[in-house]
Structure 1
Amino acid sequence: MKRLTTYLSGQSITQRVLRGSAISGMGYFLSQGIRLASNLILTRLLFPDAFGLMALVTMFVLGVVMMTDVGLTPSIMQSKRGDDPKFLNTAWSVKMLLHAFYFVVICLLAYPAAQFYDAPQLVELMPAVGLSLLIGGLVSPNIEHAMRHIQLGRVTMIDLASQAASVGAMVLFALLTRSIWALVFGQFIAAGVKAVLTRYYLQGPASRFAWDKSAVQELIHFGKWITLSSACGFVLSQGDKAVLGKYLSLEQLGVYNIGFFLASFPMALAENITGRTIIPVYRDSPPYESPQNFRTVRRMRMGLSAVVMSMIAVMALGGPWIINLLYDMRYEGAGPIVSLIACAQIPVVLGMTYPQAALAAGDSRSPSLLTMLRAGVQIAAFLTGAELGGLTGAIIGQMLAGWLLHLFIIRIAVQHRVWDPLHDAMFAVLGLLLTVAGMSHMIWAG
C-alpha cells in the first residue's frame, strides 16, 4: 500500500494520469450515485411527463450550446499558451459573451419549440433554464487550467459540491411543490455554486475581462472545427430525443429518458475520464516516439476499455432487472431500452481515445469530420430502423452504424500513428460476444 501511495503521488505522465483517472473515476461514480439517488426520489415525487418536458428543454439548451461551441476547454488543454493568464482570461471573456448569446437564442426559440412539440410549458421553462447559462458563464477558467495539468482533485470536489447542492435544492422544492420547476431550480443552484467555487477555491490567475487579439485568433483557428464537431455531436447525443419527442407522448419520452440515463452511464464515465486525462497523455507521450510510450498508452487503454466493457455487460444483461429493482411500475418499459442502448455503445468503446490523439496533435479537423460523418450515418440508421422496427429497430440501427464507423476511426488512428490493432481486435471480439448474449437474454426474458 505504501508503494502504491508513493507511486500514485509521483509527477510522471503515467503517475499523473493514473491519479487523475482514479480521481475522475471515483468522482464520477459518486456523481452518478448522487444523480441516481435524486432520480429515484424525484421519479416518486414527479410524474413521467415532467422528465419528458425536461428532456425537450435539455435538448434545445444543449443544441444552442453545442451548435456554437468553440472548444475552449480543449484549446486551453493543448495550447502552448495554456498557462498564460492573458490567454486564460481572453478565453473566459469569450465564454461570457457566448453564454449571453445562448440565453438570447434560447428565449427566441421557446415559443416555436412549444408550438412544434405541442408543449406550452416550454415557453416559460426554456428561458428559465437559459438564465442558468448566464450564471454558468462566470465559471473561472482555472478549472480548465487545472485539467490541463491533470490536477483533478479540486475539480472533482467542485463538481460534486455543485451537484449535491443542486440535488438537495431539487428534492426540497419537489417535496414542497410537486412541480417540474424543482428541476429548473436545481439548474440555478448548480451554476451558482460552481461559479463561486471555481473562483475562490481553485488556484490560478484572477479572472478578469481581457481581449488579446492573438489569443482570440488562436482560439478561433483551433475552435472552428470544434464548432462543427460539437454541432454534429448534438445530433449524436440528442437526435434520438428530437425525433422521439415528436412521435412519443411526454410520458413515454420520460420513460425512454430514464432508460437512456442508466444505459449511458458506462460511456459517460469513459468520456469523463478521457476528456480530462487523455489529451495530456498523447501530447506529452506520443506512442509513435518510443516503444515505452506505446506500451504506456496501451496499458491505459486496455484498463479503461476493460472497466467500461464490464459495466456495459451489467447493463446489457441486467437492464430489465435493474429497472424493476430501482423504479416503480410506471417505468418498467425502460428495462429493454437499457439493454439495447448498452449494446449499441459497445463499438464506441473500441476507438474512444483516438479522436483525443488527433486533438493533442493540434488536429481538430479530423475529429470534427468524423463527428459529422457519425451524425449523418447514425441519425440515418436511427430513422431507418425506426421505420422498419419502431424504437427497437432504431436502436439496433445505431448499433450497426457504430460498428461500421469504427473503420473511419481507425483511419484517424493510423494517420496520427496511434492505432493499436491488438486492443481493437480483443475488445471487438469481446463486444460481439456480449452483444449476442445481451440480445439473446433480452429476447428470452421478454
Structure 2
Amino acid sequence: MRRITALFQGSNLRARAMRSSFLTVGGFGASQMIRLASNLILTRLLFPEAFGMMALVMVFIQGLYQFSDVGVGPAIMQSKRGDDPRFLNTAWTIQAGRGVLLWLVASVLAYPMALLYGEPQLMQILPVAALTLVIQGFNPTRLMLANRHLQLGRVTTIDIVTQLTGIVSAVVLAYLTQSVWALVFSSIISCLVQLFLFWIYLVGHRDRFEWEKPAAHELINFGKWIFLSTVAGFLFNQSDKMLLGAYLPLDQFGVYNIGFFLASFPLLLGISVTHKLLIPLYRERPPRESAANFAALRKMRFVVSGGLLFGVAILAFIGVPLAEFLYDPRYHEAGIIVVIIACMQVPQIIVLTYDQAALAAGDSRRFFVLAATRAVIMLGAMFLALEMFGLIGALFSIGIAMAVIYPVVVWLARRMGAWDPLHDLTFAVLGAGVIAAALWLNWDGVVQLAASS
C-alpha cells in the first residue's frame, strides 16, 4: 500500500502523471454516470425527435468551434512561453474575440441550416445555443495551465459540479416545457456556472486583454496548422452525424445518437486521458531521446489500450440487453448500434496514443496531415457505405476507414520516435477476437438492422 501511495506523492513527472490520470479517469467516470442518469430521465420526458434536433444543433456548434480553432490550448501546453503572463493575455484575447465572432456567424447561418435540414426550428435554436461559444471564450487560461502542469484536481471538481448543474436544469426544464429548448437552455446555464467557478477557484495568472506581437505571431504560426487540423478533426469526428442527420428521419437519428452515446464511453475516456496527459509527457520525456523514455511510454500504452479494449468488449457483448434494460421500446434499436460502434472503435483505440507526439514537439503541420487524411477517408467511406448499404454500412465503415488510415498514423509516429509495433500487433489480435465474438453473438440483430436500412 505504501508503494502505491508513494507513486502519487511528490512533484516529479511520474507522480503528477499518476495523479492526473487518476483524476481524469475518476472525473470521466463520474461525468458519464451523471450523463447516463440524465439521459435515462430525459428520454422519458422528451421524444426521440428532441435528441435528433439537439444532435444537429451540437454538430453545428462544434463545427463552428472547431472550424475556427487556432490552437490556444495546445500552444500554451507546449510553448516555452506557456507561463509568460503577456503570452497568456494575448492568447486569452484571441480566445475571447473568437467566441464573439462565432456567435455572429452562427446567427447568420441559422436560416441556411434550417433550409438544409428541413427543420425550421433550427432558425430560432441555433443563435441561442451559440451563446455557449461566447461564454466559453472567456474561460481563463488558468484552465490550460492546469493541463500544462498536470494539476487537474480543481478542474475535475469544477467539471463535475458544472455537469450536475446542467443536468438538474435540463431535467427541470424538460419537465416544465416538454421541449428541446430544455436542452438548449441547460447548456447555457452549465457554461455560465463553469465560467464562474473557473474564475473563482482556479489559482494562478489573472487574464486581461493585451496584444503582444511576438506572442501573437507564435500563437498564429502554431495555430494555423491547428486550425486546419481541427477542421479536419471535426469532419472526421462528426462525419456520421452530418451524413446520418440528412439521411435518417429525425426520430431514428435520435435513436442512433442514444446508441452512440452508450458505445462511446471507453473511447471518450481514452481521448480525455490522452489529450490531457500526452502532450506534457511527450514534451518532458520524448520517446526518441532514450530507450528508457520509450519503455515508459510503452507501459502507459499497454495499460491505456488494455483498459479501453476491455471497456469496448463489455459494451460489444452486452449492448443489446443494456439498451433494452435502460430504455423504453422506442430506443431498443440502439442496442445493436452500440454493439457495432463498439466493435468499430477498436482500430481507433489501438492508435490513440500517437498523434499527440507531434503537437508536443511543436510539429502541428504533420499533425494536420494525419487529421486531413483521416477526415477525407472517413467521410468518403461513410458516404459510399450509406449510398450502397444504408445505416448498417455507415456503422461498419467507421472501423474500415480507421484500418485504411493506419499507415499514415505509423508515418507520423515513426517521425516522432513513438511507433510501437509490438503494442499495435498485440491489440490488433486481441481486438479482432473481440469483434468476431461480439458480432457472432449478435448476428441476428446485425441482419435485422441491415434489412431495415
TM range (shorter): over 0.9
Q: Which amino acid is the alignment partner of residue 54 of structure 2?
A: M
Q: What residue in structure 1 maps to residue 168 of structure 2?
A: 168
* C-alpha displacement of 1:444: 4.3
Structure 2 SS opposite 1:354: coil
Matches for 1:264-343 after TM superposition, within 5 Å = 264-343=264-343
Q: What residue in structure 2 maps to residue 348 of structure 1?
A: 348
Matches for 1:31-180 after TM superposition, within 5 Å = 31-180=31-180
Q: What residue in structure 1 maps to residue 251 of structure 2?
A: 251
Given that residues 348 and 406 in structure 1 are in contact (C-alpha distance below 8 angstroms), is that contact kept between their aligned partners in structure 2?
no
Structure 2 SS opposite 1:287: coil
Cα distance per residue 1:179-231 (max 9 Å; x no partner): 11110111111111111111110011112111111111111111111111100
* C-alpha displacement of 1:16: 1.3
Given that residues 350 and 406 in structure 1 are in contact (C-alpha distance below 8 angstroms), is that contact kept between their aligned partners in structure 2?
no
Given that residues 336 and 445 in structure 2 are in contact (C-alpha distance below 8 angstroms), is that contact kept between their aligned partners in structure 1?
no
Q: What residue in structure 2 maps to residue 363 of structure 1?
A: 363
- Counterparts of 1:4 and 1:397, CA distance in 2: 42
Structure 2 SS opposite 1:417: coil
Q: Which moved more, 1:411-420 or 1:39-48?
A: 411-420
Cα distance per residue 1:113-162 (max 9 Å; x no partner): 11111111101110010112212212111000010000011111111111
- Counterparts of 1:246 and 1:394, CA distance in 2: 13
The answer to whether residue 161 in structure 2 is matched with residue 196 in structure 1 is no
Q: What residue in structure 1 maps to residue 379 of structure 2?
A: 379
- Counterparts of 2:327 and 2:71, CA distance in 1: 37
Q: Which amino acid is the alignment partner of residue 219 of structure 2?
A: L
Given that residues 14 and 296 in structure 1 are in contact (C-alpha distance below 8 angstroms), is that contact kept between their aligned partners in structure 2?
no
Given that residues 25 and 273 in structure 1 are in contact (C-alpha distance below 8 angstroms), is that contact kept between their aligned partners in structure 2?
yes
Q: What residue in structure 1 maps to residue 396 of structure 2?
A: 396
Given that residues 379 and 398 in structure 1 are in contact (C-alpha distance below 8 angstroms), is that contact kept between their aligned partners in structure 2?
no
* C-alpha displacement of 1:245: 1.5
Given that residues 65 and 133 in structure 2 are in contact (C-alpha distance below 8 angstroms), is that contact kept between their aligned partners in structure 1?
no
Q: What residue in structure 2 maps to residue 217 of structure 1?
A: 217
* C-alpha displacement of 1:359: 0.7
Q: Which amino acid is the alignment partner of residue 169 of structure 1?
A: S
Cα distance per residue 1:262-290 (max 9 Å; x no partner): 11111111010011111111110112222
* C-alpha displacement of 1:422: 1.0
- Counterparts of 1:342 and 1:365, CA distance in 2: 31
* C-alpha displacement of 1:2: 2.9
Q: What residue in structure 1 maps to residue 233 of structure 2?
A: 233
Structure 2 SS opposite 1:382: helix
Q: What residue in structure 2 maps to residue 5 of structure 1?
A: 5
Identity of aligned residues (%): 46
Given that residues 59 and 241 in structure 1 are in contact (C-alpha distance below 8 angstroms), is that contact kept between their aligned partners in structure 2?
yes
Q: Which amino acid is the alignment partner of residue 97 of structure 1?
A: G
Q: Which amino acid is the alignment partner of residue 105 of structure 2?
A: V
Q: Which amino acid is the alignment partner of residue 43 of structure 1?
A: T
- Counterparts of 1:93 and 1:369, CA distance in 2: 28
Cα distance per residue 1:248-270 (max 9 Å; x no partner): 11111100111111111111110
Structure 1 SS opposite 2:390: helix
* C-alpha displacement of 1:241: 1.4
Given that residues 316 and 340 in structure 1 are in contact (C-alpha distance below 8 angstroms), is that contact kept between their aligned partners in structure 2?
yes
Structure 2 SS opposite 1:209: coil
Given that residues 10 and 16 in structure 2 are in contact (C-alpha distance below 8 angstroms), is that contact kept between their aligned partners in structure 1?
yes
- Counterparts of 2:12 and 2:441, CA distance in 1: 45
* C-alpha displacement of 1:404: 1.6
Cα distance per residue 1:396-430 (max 9 Å; x no partner): 12211111211210111111111111111101111
Q: Which moved more, 1:104-113 or 1:290-299?
A: 290-299
Q: What residue in structure 1 maps to residue 428 of structure 2?
A: 428
- Counterparts of 2:337 and 2:445, CA distance in 1: 13
- Counterparts of 2:173 and 2:445, CA distance in 1: 39
- Counterparts of 1:384 and 1:435, CA distance in 2: 23
Q: Which amino acid is the alignment partner of residue 154 of structure 1?
A: R
Given that residues 199 and 207 in structure 1 are in contact (C-alpha distance below 8 angstroms), is that contact kept between their aligned partners in structure 2?
no
- Counterparts of 2:345 and 2:356, CA distance in 1: 18
Q: Which amino acid is the alignment partner of residue 117 of structure 1?
A: Y
* C-alpha displacement of 1:325: 1.2
* C-alpha displacement of 1:3: 2.8
- Counterparts of 1:191 and 1:12, CA distance in 2: 33
Structure 1 SS opposite 2:442: helix
Structure 2 SS opposite 1:289: coil
Q: Which amino acid is the alignment partner of residue 427 of structure 2?
A: F
- Counterparts of 1:227 and 1:441, CA distance in 2: 43
The answer to whether residue 40 in structure 2 is matched with residue 28 in structure 1 is no
RMSD value over aligned CA atoms?
A: 1.1
- Counterparts of 2:276 and 2:348, CA distance in 1: 18
Q: What residue in structure 1 maps to residue 410 of structure 2?
A: 410
Q: Which amino acid is the alignment partner of residue 190 of structure 1?
A: S
Q: Which moved more, 1:7-16 or 1:77-86?
A: 7-16
Q: Which amino acid is the alignment partner of residue 187 of structure 1?
A: S
- Counterparts of 1:115 and 1:195, CA distance in 2: 33
* C-alpha displacement of 1:70: 0.7
Structure 1: unaligned runs, 5 residues or longer: none
- Counterparts of 1:214 and 1:108, CA distance in 2: 33
Q: Which moved more, 1:44-53 or 1:287-296?
A: 287-296
Q: What residue in structure 1 maps to residue 450 of structure 2?
A: none
- Counterparts of 2:444 and 2:133, CA distance in 1: 46
Q: Which amino acid is the alignment partner of residue 266 of structure 2?
A: P
Q: Which amino acid is the alignment partner of residue 145 of structure 2?
A: H
